[in-house]
Amino acid sequence: MPARFLEANEAVALIEPGSTLGVGGMQLAAAPMALVREMVRRRIPIARLVTSPSASLQADLPIAAGLVTEIVSPYVGFEHLGLAPAFRRAAETGALRILEIDEGSLTHALHAGAGGIPFVPCPPGVDLTDIPGVDRELFRRVVDPFTGSEHWAVPAIRPDTVLLACAVADERGNVAFDRFPFTDREMALAARRLIVEVEEVVPAGSLADRAPGTTLPSFLVDAVVVAPGGCHPTEYPGRYGRDEAAIVDYLRSAKDATGLEERVAELVAEDEDAYRARRGGTS
């Protein structure tokens, strides 16, 4: 069935409470914040949050709202602006269960999920780290049936729903990144359900000249939400930059747990129209 164009509240209603959610974007770039904010407004609980190899606000905000039970992520932080305060506090207090994984193993696990493979052996470099010994839920020893040698392996990761940010959708629901897709494409292919926010809609057929690997066909996309500037305060490469003042404001608010829940409600506003109006624009 082709992708449906929905409002943000209709799209996030497709997320099953207590399921596994994947969120795309890399660090402070292309985070699907319009969808994440709507999820926070609706107070949708997430049993397991799966991020890209390096996440920021798209993970810290739902953690700050108390919606996440456990997370699979190599890193949650804000680059030169500092650590992720809600993530760190939840980890230190035991409010959040963390499943340790490195960037390479996470990418391989998503690739396995996309390909219908139950698990995948890790490259030998993971043997040089302590990560497999820390997290035996995601890492197991397997025997190579061809050589008899042992390797660490990780299970396929297939999020129930994935939230992504793309540049455009055509009128038929095909979408294009118009940027380097990071691991977003692997996450999309591994998803059981895919919801994409886009900056704009373009005529049907106008994505035919996009480079291979930078688009997703409509039959993979369950819902498209048109959200200009929706990645704010993170950037969308090639369209608008990050809003560091807004990010710093969030970091100051999230540093103190007292009254944070009320402050989160203020940060996400009543809806995206109100959010855009408060920051004075769409990008």
Taking only the tens place, the pLDDT of each residue in 104-139 is 999 999 999 999 999 999 988 898 888 898 888 999
My answer on whether 145 and 238 are in the same domain is: no
62 and 16 in a single domain? The answer is: yes
Query: Does residue 139 sit in the same domain as residue 162?
Result: no
Predicted confidence at residue 1, as pLDDT, reads 47
Q: Is 239 inside any structural domain?
A: yes
Q: Considering the entire predicted model, what is its pTM?
A: 0.95
Q: How many domains does the chain have?
A: 2
- Is the N-terminal amide bond of 233 cis, ω within 30° of 0? yes
Q: Is residue 66 part of a domain?
A: yes
pLDDT at 3: 62
* Domain identity same for 144 and 169: no
23 and 120 part of one domain: no
Residue 70 dihedral angles phi and psi, to the nearest 5°: -145, 160
Say whether both 50 and 181 belong to one domain. yes
Residues 139 and 150 both lie in one domain? yes
- What is the tens place of the pLDDT at every residue in 142-166? 999 999 999 999 999 999 999 999 9
Rounded to whole angstroms, the Cα distance separating 92 from 32 reads 27
Domain containing 121: what range? 114-155
Q: What's the mean per-residue pLDDT of the chain?
A: 94
Is 183 inside any structural domain?
yes
Q: Within this chain, do residues 140 and 47 fall inside the same structural domain, yes or no?
A: no
